[in-house]
């Protein structure tokens, strides 16, 4: 199996938002989740560019949902994290945990 692709911070946040939202992960809800949980307001352009990049890396998949009355019958593109995306997130978390390990005292001293 090829090595996991590298992830930027924003890519990680987008993947985590999609995981949290489950079947309701589409552009507007992903942006809302990023604002609520990460305090990040994002433009549609930045979000959709990132979603396309994650799809190219094989980390997300999408499907077209049925149209709803609220949307005038227009369908949505709903996103899901692929198994490779989950594995890549796990690997990124492990790297960050190794980097953070043992730094609590150093950081505490730096702010004193």
Cα separation, 15 vs 54, in Å, equals: 9
| CATH T-level assignment (fold) for domain 9-110 | Arc Repressor Mutant, subunit A (1.10.10)
> Where do we find the tokens 């990023």?
34
Q: Mean pLDDT, consecutive 10-residue segments, the chain of 112 residues? A: 80 98 95 97 97 98 84 85 98 93 83 64
Helix (H) or strand (E) holding 84: helix 83-100
Record the tokens describing residue 70, joined without a space. Answer: 């609220």
pLDDT at position 112 is 61
The reported pLDDT for the residue numbered 14 is 99
Q: Which long-range contacts (CB under 8 A, 24 or more apart) does 2-11 make?
A: 4/84, 4/87, 4/88, 4/91, 4/92, 5/57, 5/58, 5/59, 5/88, 7/88, 7/89, 7/92, 10/40, 10/42, 10/46, 10/50, 11/50, 11/53, 11/54, 11/59
pLDDT of residue 70: 75
Domain positions in the chain are 9-110
Helices (H) and strands (E) in the chain, counts: 5, 2
């Amino acid at each position: 199996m090829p090595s996991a692709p590298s992830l930027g911070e924003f890519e990680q946040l987008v993947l985590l938002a999609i995981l949290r939202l489950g079947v309701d992960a589409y552009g507007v809800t992903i942006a809302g989740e990023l604002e609520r949980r990460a305090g990040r307001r994002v433009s549609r352009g930045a979000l959709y560019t990132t979603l396309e990049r994650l799809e190219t890396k094989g980390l997300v998949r999408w499907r077209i949902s049925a149209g709803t009355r609220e949307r005038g019958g227009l369908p949505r593109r709903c996103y899901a994290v692929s198994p490779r995306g989950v594995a890549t997130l796990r690997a990124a978390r492990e790297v960050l945990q190794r980097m953070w390990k043992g730094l609590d005292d150093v950081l505490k001293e730096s702010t004193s």
